[in-house]
Structure 1
Amino acid sequence: MTQPAASPSPSPVQALSAEAVAARNIRAFLWFRVLFNSRFYYPIFTILFLDFGLTIEQFAGLNALWAASIVIFEVPSGALADRLGRRRLVVLASWLMVIEMSLLCLMPIGGGWVWPLMALNRVISGLAEACCSGADEALVYDALPEAGKQEAWTRVLARLMRWQSLTFMGVALVGAAVYSPDFMNRVLQAAGLGMHLSKEFCMRIPLVLNLLMALACVVSSLRFMDTHEHAPNISGLNALIRASYHQMLDAARSILRSPAAIVIILTGLLYDCFIRLYYSIGSNYYRLLGIDEQWNGLILTVSSLIGLGTAFVVEKLLGTTTPSRNMGTVAILIFLGLTGVSLIIPGWAGVIFVVPLWLAMRSLHYFISQYLNRVSSPSTRATVLSFKGLTMNLAYGGVMLMYQLQTWVLRGTHREELSGLPKESVDTRLLAMAMPWWPAVFGVLALGLVIWVRMRFRSNLTGLLMDKSSRSGIHLEAGELSSR
């Protein structure tokens, strides 16, 4: 007799209820985001690269390369997710993080290989950021409606914010402490262990800890379940990627027809790139003030706590103060912060002047998100926010290239003064020479933007947001885009 054909075994997703899949994806999402974004080397980011033997110019160039990598890979990431599957893209991102951290762990200190290996590391990091951008959220968001839990997304984001805040503070404290050989040797001495750790050894500790986090990130990524799982299909992928770039250009043209959107995005990218310029050199600034690396984690922890408090104030300002005044307040905070750090007041007094920049960073992105959502129709909101992210990364890459050029010029014009100094002293001295220029450049650009907006649109941001005709460009062009 002919045996009946065996029925195909159900897929893992089919074997579980919709509620179980949603709960599993939520847990995987929370663990993945926390493990992927919590980096032990963040509190010593700048000095880590400089201590590996890079010059400030090379460090600035690497940051520009990283930003460019994100921009280049971000656009086709949606097409890759559609063809390869979102879960596969998230898993790929976690493995790229493992490669990124392995390169750093094995990085030689000094020598000709440091720069090319660091450049490769930054490109891999940018690719990893682009691969998981939105794909992990989509895996959770699509599983919720099938489980009848559409409203749970807001609670998931609230839990993520709490998890990330607590984890970031713990990781910052540990990462900064283990990087400091003075702190580590005091701990070993207090424990009665006859060991002495060198600076070179301590440099590797936060990197090894992050490699372990990357491996845990791989495990969490494998826990995701794709409710729209399909076999990888790369047919026509090149055409799809090209279409992604053309779609983003079309979206840019439509966005630029909305005066309100133009002003919001231009203001946001100008403010953001100067704030991130400081954040990129923060640990070198603390070294310039004479603060030991072990305290960098505490400084970042305080900034996180201040950021949590800022959210309540900003929410009230949004409802009681005009958009122009809110963005003007952010500009004043940035100018005061840049001016304060350029004074280079030694010790903990110098850290006080960083507080305005902390406040500005937290306030800026809240305001930008709220105002851009006001001028965007639901059908184009994702495209507008994606375009905002791309332009901000482009602006950040540009300002890092300018910082690279500035440092190169300063090194050349002060060659005699810097000759004979240890590398660490050269790095801090060049930073001290560069910072006094920043508030002046920011002030001129911010004032120029205000004058240009007044002359070009005969209004300010508040007026443009109130004028419906200045916001309709995005909606109208969105209709055109959808009909193509």
Structure 2
Amino acid sequence: MKKKTLAAHNIRILFLYNLLGTISFIQPVLTLFYLSRGLDETDIIWMLMFWSGFVLIGEVPSGIFADRFGAKRSFITGGLIHFISILVLVFAHNPWQFFLSSALSGLAATFFSGADEALIYDSLKESHEENKMDHAMGRINAAEFITMMIAVILGAFLAHDLTEAQFLVLLYLGLGFQAIGIVILFFVKKPIHSMSYRDNPFKQVREGVRVIRRTPQLLIMFLNVTIVFIPAGAVFGNFDQPFLQGAGLPVSWIGIIYALAAGIGFFASYFIGWFTRRLSRVFLMHVTGFLAVGGLLLASFFGERLTVALFSFFILRFVRAIRYPIYSQLSNDWIPSTVRATTISLLSIIDSAADLIIFSTIASIAAFGLPRIFLICAVIALIGTLFPIRKGDKVNLH
């Protein structure tokens, strides 16, 4: 990838934001924090549903906002909302306060969803490097794994007794770094040839719908990605702490295991080009989908054994790291620049609808324990993996 280009600058800024602005010291004990404040497994599933519901509500307005006013303003708005969502957690002691925090977090995510990919793809086009989209997103996402390696060890150490005071320290640290991240976002630069959409916003949405209707393969590929990610990433990620603890892993070791997983994720994401030079992107998407199914089945049937629990945990973290950058390259090759953020946001609405369906299904069996949850997740991930994927060319709207 070329140096001293607009793409290199914006990749560096988003890398720094992911490195500092998204750091979460409470992540390694987050589920244990929820449980300590009186939530149960069903409440946690409801938090996921509130997150998805507000993503569903906010996706199109935030996508229109990004296409009309630019990625920088969209990012800063999302960063401020995310700051408030963390602040609500500090004072949350009943389920509805946690649901509010989750709703704000989901709304904040919509201001980054689509806008980050649109910014990077258009920046890469200026230096004729749009075929490097997966490399760029892999490097940006790698920052989160570096952050996780540091934050999870420190977070698990600071909260080793799982006391209220220790949880608050972790939340205040998160607020401080989120504030730093918001400042970093002011240095994002707009691509010179980026085309802001200035027509009626409803027409903007219609153009995005037209892209999806003209490229059914884009929708099918998106369904593959999202139906695998929801059970293997979102659901498993919210129960991996009690899962590992139940398999016999001490709380003090959770941070170390998270850090090792983050290290695997970092190398898989940062060096995504090594994989795509040797294997086709389509092949990698299918293989990682079946790996997700296998990891969930292991967790369901043999999760009480610590070695198996750790193996399934690492498999699922690897899958999460490698699939998104590849999907980002494949999907953005289909979408025109003028409605890129809006189109991605429209797809995310489908993701949110799938979230709500899958989360409500899992909530109905959550009381039966983690093995049953992971078994249902494996079945859902298998369905997603069976959706076909292929490469394509950009849609011409005119």
8 A contact 1:76–1:245 mirrored in 2: no
Q: Distance in 1 between matches of 2:288 and 2:136?
A: 29
8 A contact 1:373–1:381 mirrored in 2: no
> Where does residue 434 of structure 1 map in the other structure?
373
Report the CA distance between 1:144 and its aligned residue. 9.7
8 A contact 2:32–2:242 mirrored in 1: yes
1:339 aligns with 2:303: no
CA 158–361 in structure 1, closer or farther in 2 if over 3 Å, else same? closer
Q: Distance in 2 between matches of 1:222 and 1:263?
A: 36
> Where does residue 249 of structure 1 map in the other structure?
209
Q: Distance in 1 between matches of 2:149 and 2:377?
A: 29
> Where does residue 365 of structure 1 map in the other structure?
324
8 A contact 1:272–1:396 mirrored in 2: no
> Where does residue 96 of structure 2 map in the other structure?
116
Q: What runs of 5+ residues in structure 2 fail to find an aligned partner?
A: 193-197
Report the CA distance between 1:42 and its aligned residue. 2.1
8 A contact 2:247–2:306 mirrored in 1: yes
Report the CA distance between 1:143 and its aligned residue. 8.8
Among 83, 86, 99, the alignment partner of 1:101 is 86
Among 133, 147, 151, the alignment partner of 1:167 is 147
8 A contact 1:28–1:224 mirrored in 2: yes
TM-score normalized by structure 2? 0.78
Greater shift, 301-310 or 22-31, is seen at 22-31
**Residues 68-147 of structure 1 aligned to structure 2 (within 5 Å):** 68-81=53-66, 86-108=71-93, 114-133=94-113, 135=115
CA 390–35 in structure 1, closer or farther in 2 if over 3 Å, else same? farther
TM-score normalized by structure 1? 0.66
Report the CA distance between 1:103 and its aligned residue. 0.9
1:353 aligns with 2:338: no
> Where does residue 37 of structure 1 map in the other structure?
22
Greater shift, 162-171 or 25-34, is seen at 25-34
1:48 aligns with 2:48: no
Q: Distance in 1 between matches of 2:294 and 2:55?
A: 30
> Where does residue 263 of structure 2 map in the other structure?
305
* Per-residue deviation, residues 5-51 of structure 1 (Å, max 9, x unmatched): xxxxxxxxxxxxxx9x9999777544433333222222223222222
> Where does residue 169 of structure 2 map in the other structure?
205
* Per-residue deviation, residues 226-274 of structure 1 (Å, max 9, x unmatched): 799xxxxxxxx9x945444444433332232xxx434423322222222
Among 163, 175, 178, the alignment partner of 1:214 is 178
**Residues 222-261 of structure 1 aligned to structure 2 (within 5 Å):** 222=186, 240-256=200-216, 260-261=217-218
Q: Distance in 2 between matches of 1:135 and 1:330?
A: 26
Name the % identity. 20
Report the CA distance between 1:70 and its aligned residue. 2.0
Matched letter for residue 365 of structure 2: Q
CA 240–172 in structure 1, closer or farther in 2 if over 3 Å, else same? farther
Q: What runs of 5+ residues in structure 1 fail to find an aligned partner?
A: 1-18, 109-113, 182-197, 229-236, 411-429, 454-459, 466-470
CA 295–79 in structure 1, closer or farther in 2 if over 3 Å, else same? same
Matched letter for residue 338 of structure 1: L
* Per-residue deviation, residues 172-201 of structure 1 (Å, max 9, x unmatched): 2112222221xxxxxxxxxxxxxxxx7222
1:407 aligns with 2:366: yes
8 A contact 1:70–1:126 mirrored in 2: yes
CA 115–240 in structure 1, closer or farther in 2 if over 3 Å, else same? farther
Q: Distance in 1 between matches of 2:272 and 2:351?
A: 21
Structure 1 vs Structure 2 CA RMSD = 4.1
Q: Distance in 1 between matches of 2:277 and 2:75?
A: 38
